[in-house]
Structure formats: structure tokens, C-alpha cells
Amino acid sequence: MVVGVAADVFESAVIIGIFTGTIYAMMALGIVASFRINRVVNLAIPGLAVFGATIYFEMSNVWGAPVIVALFGGVAVGAFIGALLGLCNLKMTQWPRGFVMIFTLTVTLFLFGWSDKILPPIQISPASPFGDNGGFKVALTFVSNHQIGTFVTCILVTLLMALVVTKTRIGVYVRAIYDDGDSAATLGIPIGYFVVGVYAVAGALAALAGILVSPRTTLDPYLILFVTIWALAGSILGGLESFGIAFVGSILVGLSQGILGGGLIHLGPGLENLGAIAVVAVAVFYAGVKRRDLAHIQT
């Protein structure tokens, strides 16, 4: 009996972990996309996610637009701001990458500020694009249509991005720019268009992530900021270069939160995060050491 309950609790923790990880993975895809073009960690992702979700909320809840129209509206705004950010990046080629990363964080602060101005003061959750009702129970956990929709969307987007990068000429160009921008330019690849384009895609992905995350977390910018930090950890596992590994890494981070958090919360408040933080710390350390060793061999 006790074993049965424990198994159910574990199954629930796994299910919660997977769906939490899916949310991180959506964010991680945007981070990986922009890193793959100019090696900058795009910390504008949380801002783009919140602002995309804000536009989605305004269009669907305030203006009364159909959910699908609002979804495309939010994603389009994310892509537009992402493209502008890409343009700014082109102007900052002489800046140290760390400073460009800090610049992307200022974009997040601005987008948070504008979202604060647009949204009502009381925290709200927008409607899910997959419907607010419906779902089924697995073990002790109710799995909603929104979670299933998010999971499927995330897998489809991951596959699409991986296919584009590995199987198309666009992917070859993106890889060439990532490896050596100057050499790519000598081959006639229009670097500017690609940087702006990839940042637009990253912006669209971030906005989509925000739209899919916000029905579960409300539109609180700081909650989404933390979601992005976990997503960053997930994408670091893949060296910020692989969509597939970023997806798997994000799921692992979510799983570690789901499984370890349930056990550690009894030790005291805040400690439910300890397990996930430890997993993330080890992952970052491992990825950093691996990167250093590779650099040494190349030297």
C-alpha cells in the first residue's frame, strides 16, 4: 500500500518535472538560436517572453481577438523586437560579448517596464491557446490540454529548428557565421540579414514560450525571469549550441526540480530548490570544463 502510494507520488513528480522542463525548453530554444549566430547569451529572452505574452493577453482578453490571432500577434511582436535587437547587435561587434550580454538584459528591463505599464496591477493569467478546460489524470496528477499542447509544440519546434540547422543551406550559413563571421563574409554570406533574421526567430520563440508559460505562472516578470534562468541552465548542458540537447537538458532540470524538490521541501522553506540548483551547478561546471578542454586541444 505504502509502496503503491510512493510510486504514485514519484510518477506525479516525474510528470510535473517533465511539463515544467518543457516550459524551460521553450525558453532554451530562443537562447540557443541567438547564441548560434553570434555567441552572445541573449538575456532579452525573458523580456521578450513577458512582452509577447502581454500582447497576447491584451489582444485576447482586452480587445477580444480570437486566441489564434492573439497568438500570432504576440509572436509577431516578439519577432519584431528580436529583429531590432539583432540590428543593435550588428552595431556592437566591437563590444566585448559580456557587455553585449548585459545590454540584452537592459532590453529585458525595458520590456518588463513597458509590460508593467500595459498590464493591470493585479497579477493575472491569460487564457491558454489550447483551451482552459479538458485533460486527464495520470497517477495523482491532472494533466491539462495546455500541458499536452505545450509539450507537443515544444517537440515540434525543436525538431524544426534542428532540421533547419542540420539539413538546409540556411543552417550551413548560420554555422559558418557562428564559426567565423569574417570568413563567412568573404564567402558572400549576408551576415547582417542572418543575424537580424536569427534574432527575430529567437524573439518569436521567446514570445511563444511566454504565451505558453504565462497561463501556468501568471504574467509576473520575475517568475518568468527565473524560468529563463533555469532554461539557461538547461541550454548550457548542450554547450548553448544544440537544440536537441538544450531540450533534453531543460527536461532534466525540470525533472530534478520535480523529483528532488518534493523530498527536500520538508527540510525547510526554500530548500526544494536545492536539488535543482545543485544539478544545474554541476551541469554548468561540467560544460565549462568540457569547453576549456576543447579550447586547449584547438590551441
Partner 1 sequence: MIGTRRNGGDAVAENDTGTDAGDAPAKEKKAGPTLPVGRLILPALVFGLGLAGEFVLPNHLTYAASTALCYGLVGLGLYLPLAALRELPLNGAALAGLSAYFFAFHAHGGHAGKTVLGVLVGVGLCTAVSIAGGLASLVVTGLYFTVASLVVQIGIEKVVFSMGWLTGGASGRGVTQPDPLNGFFTTTRVVFGIVGLVCLAITLSVWRIKRTKILSNWVMTGHQPDGADAVGVRRWVQKVVIFGLSGLLIGVAGVLFAFANGTPPPPPQFGVIWSVIFLAIPIASGMRTASAVWAVAAVFTALPIVLESHHINPNLLSGSILLTALIASQSQEAVMARIRNLRRQPEVIEEIALTEGHHALEELKAKPVVASAPAAVKEVDLRAPRALVGTDIGVYFGGVKAVDGVNVRVGPGQRVAIVGANGAGKTTLFNALNGFVPPTKGTVTLGDLDITGMPAYARIRQGLGRTFQLPRLADILTVRQNVLAGQAQGGDLIPRAEWLMERFGIAALADIPIQVVPFGTRRKVEMVRALARRPEVLLIDEPVSGLEDEEVNELIEVMLELQAVEGWGLLLIEHDLRFVTSIAEQMMVMVDGKVLTEGSINDVLADERVRQVYLGEVVPV
d(CA 13, CA 106): 36
d(CA 182, CA 127): 46
Buried (b) or exposed (e) across 165-190, using 16+ Cβ within 10 A?
Answer: beeeeebebbebbbeebeebeeeebe
In the region spanning residues 201 to 220, those forming contacts with partner 1, defined by CB under 8 A, are none
Please state the closest distance from residue 46 (CB atom) to partner 1, in A.
11
In the region spanning residues 238 to 267, those forming contacts with partner 1, defined by CB under 8 A, are 240
Please state the closest distance from residue 287 (CB atom) to partner 1, in A.
6
Is position 274 an interface residue for partner 1 (rule: CB under 8 A)? yes
CA distance to 105, 225, 256, 281, per residue, from 269 (Å): 29, 20, 17, 20
Out of 204, 236, 248, 260, the only residue in the binding site for partner 1 (CB under 8 A) is: 236
Total chain residues near partner 1 (CB under 8 A) = 49
Please state the closest distance from residue 232 (CB atom) to partner 1, in A.
6
Is position 232 an interface residue for partner 1 (rule: CB under 8 A)? yes
Is position 23 an interface residue for partner 1 (rule: CB under 8 A)? no
In the region spanning residues 98 to 127, those forming contacts with partner 1, defined by CB under 8 A, are 98-99, 101-103, 105-110, 112-114, 116-117
Does residue 251 contact residue 21 with C-beta atoms inside 8 Å? yes
Is the Cβ of residue 148 or residue 223 nearer to partner 1 in the bound state? 223
d(CA 27, CA 132): 22
Residue 262 CB-density burial (10 A; 0-12 exposed, 13-18 middle, 19+ buried): middle
Other Cβ atoms closer than 10 A to 293: 10
Amino acid, res. 97: R
Where on the chain is the footprint of partner 1 (CB under 8 A)?
Answer: 41, 92, 94-99, 101-103, 105-110, 112-114, 116-117, 221-222, 225-226, 229, 232-233, 236, 240, 268-271, 273-274, 277, 280-281, 284-285, 287-289, 291-292, 296-297
